[in-house]
Structure 1
Amino acid sequence: MLSTFDLAGHVIGLIVDRDLTEDTLDEIIAGIKLKLEIHEKVNVYIELEKGRHITFSALMKGIKFKYSNSEHFDKIAIVTDSNWFQNAVNVSDIFLDVDVRTYDLKDRLEAIQWISL
C-alpha cells in the first residue's frame, strides 16, 4: 500500500510500504501530478520503509521524471535506510536545480520539518 499525507498545501508526503517498482512509481507520479494541478511548485517527501527496495528501472524512471519536471519542484526529501539509494539520489541530483536531501529513517522528523518549510 502507498500512503499519502499532506503536511502543508504545497507538500505531498508518501510512505512506500512495498518495494519501489515502476508500478509503484507510476502511483507516486500520479499523486504528484494531482498536486501540481493546484500548486505551481511542490515539495515532496518520500519515505521507503525499512526492508523495502527500489528497482533499478524505477530509479531511472524517477530520475527522468525529476529532470523533466524540475521547474515544478522546490524541495524533495528521500527517507530510507538504503545507502545505495541515497547515494544514487545524491549523485543524480548534482545538476538539478532542486534542493534534494536524503535522510535515514531515524531522522524522519528532521526531514518532515525541513520539507514543510
Structure 2
Amino acid sequence: MIVTDHQPHRVSVAVYGEFTLADYKEFEELVNFKVKFEGPVDLLFDLREMADFTLDVAWEELKFSRTHANDFNRIAVVTDSQWLTWAAWLSQIFVNAEMQIFSDADEAAGWLGAAA
C-alpha cells in the first residue's frame, strides 16, 4: 500500500507493506500528471515501512526511470535498508537527478526544500 502527497513541483510517496504493481501505477500516474503540467519535480520516497516489492514493480521501475530520465530535479529516499540504498543508487544510472539517501524523513524533506 502507498500513500501519496503532492505539492508544487514535488511528489511524496510512503510505502507500507508490499509495494505492488497497482501501487506503482498509482505513483506513475501522479508523476506523469505533475510533470505534464509543472515540468520536472522532486521526489520523496519513504521506504522505511516497505516490507517487500514484487518483481513486476522492479521491472516497471526500470522502464519508468529510463522513460523519465530528465523529469526529476532531486530524489530523496528515506530508508534504513542497505539493500534499498544500493538499489536506489543503481537506479540513478538511468535518471539525471541529484539523489540522496536519508534515514530521517524530516532531513530528506529539508534537503528537497533547500533546492526550492
Under TM normalisation by the shorter chain, which class is it?
0.7 to 0.9
Which moved further from structure 2: 90-99 or 10-19?
90-99
**Any conservation in 1 of the 2:44–2:109 contact (CA below 8 Å)?**
yes
Q: CA deviation at 1:56?
A: 3.3
Name the one with the larger strand percent.
2
CA distance in 2, matches of 1:14, 1:46: 5
CA distance in 2, matches of 1:32, 1:49: 21
| Unpaired runs of at least 5, structure 1 | none
Superposition map of 1:95-110 within 5 A:
96-104=95-103, 107-110=104-107
Superposition map of 1:58-73 within 5 A:
58-73=57-72
Percent of matched pairs sharing the same residue:
25
Aligned residues: 114
Aligned to 1:22: 21
Length-normalised TM-score, structure 2: 0.83
Q: CA deviation at 1:59?
A: 2.1
CA distance in 2, matches of 1:3, 1:51: 12
Aligned to 1:3: 3
Aligned to 1:36: 35
| Unpaired runs of at least 5, structure 2 | none
Question: Deviating runs (4+, > 3 A) in structure 1?
Answer: none
1:114 pairs, out of 92, 107, 111, with 111
Root-mean-square deviation over aligned CA pairs: 1.9
Length-normalised TM-score, structure 1: 0.83
